[in-house]
Structure 1
Amino acid sequence: MILGMLCALGSAVSYGTATVLQAVATRATAPGGGSGVDPRLMMRAMRQWRYVAGLGLDGLGFLLELVALRSLPIYVVGAALAASLAVTAVVASWALRVRLSRVEWLAVGTVCGGLAMLGLASGAEGAGTGSMALRVGALCTAVGVFLFGAVAGRLPGRARAAALGLGAGIGFGVVEVSVRLVDGLSPGALLANPAAYALLLGSVAGFLLLTSALQRGSVTAATAGMVIGETLGPAWVGVQWLGDRTREGLMPLAVVGFVLAVAGALVLARFGEAPEDQTAE
């Protein structure tokens, strides 16, 4: 349990720091044409060293997330991942000299307090490994994220950013759920498990839609959509179908902690990307 919580927090730190690096690189990348989803945007962004460094931190964060998801309820890990925005805000205030308002500093404290409540209230991960129907559902959802992104990319302005961010969050949420649905790591078991494909497709869809959303639209709208997509749905699936529970009598504390962590992250949504006047050299 302690190792899982440390991994969840380490994942948040990795993701939060990566966001600052990637955001600067993404804004410095020439936009493409067509809809709001540009598959070639990620390749162009990778010419920026900050983006590559951010991807390395994302990789580390993903590995820590995998460990956390194998020992903690999904609702705890999801809230911790949303809390990466608090890390981004603090890193941006230090590295980029971004001024945080009193409300935003309060939001950082609220996120930390919410995570502390979750840490106290959460039980071990549920024992359920999910039915085949749930695994197929995860795969269908991952494919649906690509289709959703194709439609969302054609929406105007702020709606496009919010929709792409929501789609990205759903993609990352599929990853959170799929990790729990992978119950065997042998090649044969992985090839026969739809959740393994869902995990890969959810990751790619999430990165693609989020990169497009941040490069082309409102950072706040995109990040807020992502936070909602990657926390609420996966937490519900974990409780409803995978047996995630709290410690005896501490469900109210867990609910309050989850709400505080997510609400604080939403207040900090503008830190889903560095300020626009910060550009890569």
Structure 2
Amino acid sequence: MALALAAAVLAALGYAAGSILQAVGVRGGSGAAALTRSPLYLTGLGVDGLAWLLSLVALRRLPTFAVQSLLAGSLALTVVLARVFLGSRLRPRDTAAVLALVAALGVVGGAGTEQPSPTVATPLQVVLLVAGVLLLLAVLVLRRLGSAAFAVLAGLGYSVAALGARAVTLPDAWSDAWRVLAEPVAWAVAVAGVAGTLGYAAALEKGPVGPATALLWSVEVVVPAVAGFALLGDVVRAGWWVPTVAALVVVVGCSVVLAGSPAIPEET
């Protein structure tokens, strides 16, 4: 459990660091072409990718609700790092939200005992793959949607990817790694991940980063938590149900507050 917990915490830190690097990289830039030549911006994208891989490691041993809540903590880290490195203003309610979020994540971390990834029947794997495909098609086809709608689609895409990462069966030997390609849920992770990435990009293109990020993380915390309990057999430590539900509500609420903070950098 220690390794999985460390992976989740490092993933949250990676997402926060990636946001700051990208924010610094876009300063003084003049369009997408300039960003492709910005070492800081490209490094930020790479850190985001590494953080995503670390989140997949965490999902192998921790329940979905615990991992997704810890990843939402990246908002608190982003606010703090932006204050230190970018000199961003920190509102009193941002400070309160950071402290409340840290406390809530402590509860969530305590409620999520180590749980090996479940064995998922093929029909459910196919359902996740179909969901990922439909979300990707929605992002590509429904271009008239507003920022909020794309943020929700992105959150659902990342949610399906997280559920798929939790459910995929990894072989014992590297020589059998190719067998993963035969699992529909493995393709669900890839397709839904692309849907989430494109959906969030469209949300930022059509509206401000704060509301879009708040919707994204709210969906990413709530949907995988409910689906993890209902479909994947995720369990909460005995006697921790009430504090866990309360902590999840606090995580979502604090995410909404922090997403609107002036310390959250605008990205392009």
| Same fold per superposition (TM over 0.5) | yes
How far apart are residue 218 of structure 1 and its match?
Answer: 1.5
- 3-state SS in 2 of match to 1:124: coil
- 3-state SS in 1 of match to 2:260: helix
* Paired position in structure 2 for 1:170: 156
* Paired position in structure 1 for 2:19: 19
How far apart are residue 135 of structure 1 and its match?
Answer: 0.9
Deviation track 1:223-271 (CA, whole Å, cap 9, x = no partner) reads 1221122121111111112111111111112112222122111111135
The correspondence of residues 42-53 of structure 1 with structure 2, limited to 5 A, is 45-53=35-43
How far apart are residue 19 of structure 1 and its match?
Answer: 1.6
* Paired position in structure 2 for 1:122: 112
The correspondence of residues 206-245 of structure 1 with structure 2, limited to 5 A, is 206-245=196-235
8 Å CA contact 1:171–1:202 kept in 2: the answer is: yes
The correspondence of residues 29-40 of structure 1 with structure 2, limited to 5 A, is 30=31
* Paired position in structure 2 for 1:95: 85
* Paired position in structure 2 for 1:274: 265
How far apart are residue 60 of structure 1 and its match?
Answer: 2.0
Q: CA RMSD in A?
A: 2.3
The correspondence of residues 73-152 of structure 1 with structure 2, limited to 5 A, is 73-125=63-115, 128-150=118-140, 152=142
Which residue type is aligned with residue 245 of structure 2?
A: V
8 Å CA contact 2:22–2:40 kept in 1: the answer is: yes
- 3-state SS in 1 of match to 2:144: coil
Q: Quick one: distance in 1 between partners of 2:236 and 2:221?
A: 17
Q: Quick one: distance in 2 between partners of 1:221 and 1:236?
A: 23
Q: Quick one: distance in 1 between partners of 2:249 and 2:130?
A: 28
Q: Which is bigger in relative contact order (C-alpha 8 A, separation at least 6)?
A: 1
- 3-state SS in 1 of match to 2:83: helix
- Cα 1:100–1:152 change in 2 (3 A) is farther
Q: Quick one: distance in 1 between partners of 2:121 and 2:220?
A: 21
The correspondence of residues 150-165 of structure 1 with structure 2, limited to 5 A, is 150=140, 152-155=142-145, 160-165=146-151
User: For structure 1, which segment, 144-153 or 216-225, has the greater mean C-alpha deviation from structure 2 after superposition?
Assistant: 144-153
1:184 to 170, 177, 195: 170
8 Å CA contact 2:56–2:166 kept in 1: the answer is: no
8 Å CA contact 1:26–1:211 kept in 2: the answer is: no
Task: Count residues with an aligned counterpart.
Answer: 262
- Cα 1:45–1:135 change in 2 (3 A) is farther
* Paired position in structure 1 for 2:52: 62
Q: Quick one: distance in 1 between partners of 2:50 and 2:162?
A: 15
Which residue type is aligned with residue 165 of structure 2?
A: V
- Cα 1:167–1:29 change in 2 (3 A) is farther
Q: Quick one: distance in 1 between partners of 2:121 and 2:246?
A: 30
- Cα 1:23–1:17 change in 2 (3 A) is same
Q: Quick one: distance in 2 between partners of 1:167 and 1:22?
A: 23
* Paired position in structure 1 for 2:5: 5
Q: Quick one: distance in 2 between partners of 1:22 and 1:174?
A: 26
Deviation track 1:142-179 (CA, whole Å, cap 9, x = no partner) reads 11222222355313xxxx11111111111111121111
How far apart are residue 205 of structure 1 and its match?
Answer: 1.8
Q: Does 1:256 align with 2:256?
A: no
- Cα 1:25–1:145 change in 2 (3 A) is farther
How far apart are residue 212 of structure 1 and its match?
Answer: 2.7
Percentage of pairs with the same residue? 36
* Paired position in structure 2 for 1:35: none
Show structure 1 runs of 5+ residues with no match.
31-40
Q: Quick one: distance in 2 between partners of 1:48 and 1:199?
A: 29
8 Å CA contact 1:115–1:257 kept in 2: the answer is: yes
Q: Quick one: distance in 2 between partners of 1:44 and 1:140?
A: 37
